[in-house]
Amino acid sequence: MKAVVAVKRCPSYGPADVKAAVGEALTLALDGGAPRVGSRVLLKPNLAAARRPERGITTHPGVVGAAIDFFKEHGCRVFVGDSPAGAVRGVTRVWENTGVAEVCRARGADLVNFEAGGWVERNVEGRTYRLARSVLEFDSIVNLPKFKTHVLTLVTGAIKNAFGCVPGFAKSTFHLTNPRPPEMSRVIVDVFQAMAPWVTLMDAVDVMEGNGPSSGQVRRLGVIAASRDAVALDAVMSAMVGIDPLKVPTTREASRRGLGVADPHRIEVIGEPEAIPAISDFEVPSNWHFFLVPGALSKAVLRWFWVKPVVQPDKCTGCGDCEAACAASAVSLTGGRARVEPSRCVSCLCCIEACPSGAIEPRMSRLARLMV
């Protein structure tokens, strides 16, 4: 049986463009399976950092607003929530800076604080996770990821967005104990499996390439995509920018478990397949090839073979988000600027993801650069 991914052209974040693309993509993806009137629907965007939408870090508020409109027009009660890295300093700041608070106020959609509602335990393949209780109290979960590169998992999209259902500091703790992509991807897929989104709507109008998810460059793809199969959606988006889907560890792991389809021969792209751009120069994270080296080798020569976060002082604003995100206590603020203590750093690169100003970037040792 084939998976179906709906793709629609969306040349800008103008309200008319976004409303048309979002409505048509969701209609095609759901294929008549709209939620029942009166059901409670949670929209889960990627609100990775308290930054304005033009930075390309978060799901654009125009896409969130169009999704709210779509489900309200189907008679649903709509809520919006996430547990971003910046929530430790106040989730209201994240909602406001990303523009999501404004679109929710305008449409009468309630914002849900994942940190405030407590947690419930879920067991996946013998491993126990604490997920935000509020996520699991809705009739349907609509996944609203932003397509970006990622310094740890190569790309972040539908599967990775589920990780925001883990509230609070626990996300950083998982990074601390699972610093390499295969192990961390297993954790992410566990959470995705427990979350089980009903449908996924991908914001790929503006995407991020290079050292994503927060320090890369914004690039326009002009695409909105949707699917009931999040794995197939990630596979299509990766292939769109010239990345083999099975080189993305989260896609590979989810496919291995049978949680979705990653084989392009078993995926049917509908809507406007011709809208898919042919991209050959998409920039991947500068450190990515480092993680292809076997873990045992990197441990054996760890003194000379490493990738570490490095702070660019001229870009650092001293906000403290990186310090709050570091479970290894390797990041501190000195003189109003972030500083990384190499001896404590476990190379989970959470500080890069949390930094809202792109002031931290991955750097490899000379040996690592030569070998990859």
Q: Examine the fold and report which residue of 243, 275, 307 is the final residue of a domain before the chain moves on.
A: 275
135 shares a domain with 164: yes
Model pTM? 0.90
326 shares a domain with 186: no
Q: Examine the fold and report which residue of 275, 308, 329 is the final residue of a domain before the chain moves on.
A: 275
The pairs formed by 237-244 with CB atoms below 8 angstroms and a separation of 24 or more are 237/147, 237/155, 237/157, 237/202, 237/204, 238/155, 238/157, 239/264, 240/204, 240/276, 240/277, 240/279, 241/207, 241/209, 241/279, 241/282, 242/279, 242/280, 242/282, 243/154, 243/155, 243/282, 243/284
Domain hosting residue 158, numbered range = 3-275
Cβ neighbors of 32 (< 8 A, separation 6 or more) are none
Q: Examine the fold and report which residue of 275, 298, 316 is the final residue of a domain before the chain moves on.
A: 275
Domain with residue 31: its CATH number is 3.40.50.11440
| pLDDT value for 302 | 56
Domain with residue 327: its CATH number is 3.30.70.20
304 shares a domain with 257: no
173 shares a domain with 54: yes
| pLDDT value for 342 | 86
Residue 29 lies in a domain: yes
Residue 138 lies in a domain: yes
User: Of 165, 167, 203, nearest to 67 (Cα)?
Assistant: 203
62: left (phi over 0), alpha (psi -120 to 50) or beta: alpha
| pLDDT value for 181 | 86
Total domains present in the chain: 2
338 shares a domain with 241: no
Question: What are the mean pLDDT values of the chain's consecutive 10-residue runs (372 residues total)?
Answer: 95 98 97 90 93 95 98 97 73 93 98 90 94 94 97 94 89 84 94 96 97 92 98 97 96 98 96 90 83 59 70 92 86 92 84 82 71 52
